[in-house]
Every structure is written in structure tokens, then in C-alpha cells.
Amino acid sequence: TVTKYREAMNIPSSIRRRREKRLSAAAIKRSD
């Protein structure tokens, strides 16, 4: 999940960034 989050942050795509941000946020919350 960490790698995905990093990749999402690097991705300039606004749509993908928003989508990944939501998924990453949930994944990070679970990890924490």
C-alpha cells in the first residue's frame, strides 16, 4: 500500500490522484 500511495502522489493525473488518495487514505488508516 505504501508503494501505491507513493506512486499515486507522483502521478500527475488529477482523477487517478483523487481515486488513489481515497484508497490510500483508507489503507494507511488500516495500517496505522
In this structure, what C-alpha cell is assigned to residue 14? 488529477
What pLDDT, on the 0 to 100 scale, is given for residue 12? 60
How far is it, in rounded angstroms, from Cα 20 to Cα 14? 10
What is the DSSP secondary structure assignment for residue 11, as one 8-state letter? -
What pLDDT sits at residue 23?
Answer: 72
pLDDT value at position 5?
A: 72
pLDDT digits (tens, 9 = 90+) for 7-21: 766 666 556 666 666
pLDDT value at position 13?
58
Q: Residue ranges of the domains in the chain?
A: 2-31
Report which of residues 2 and 17 the model is more confident about: 2
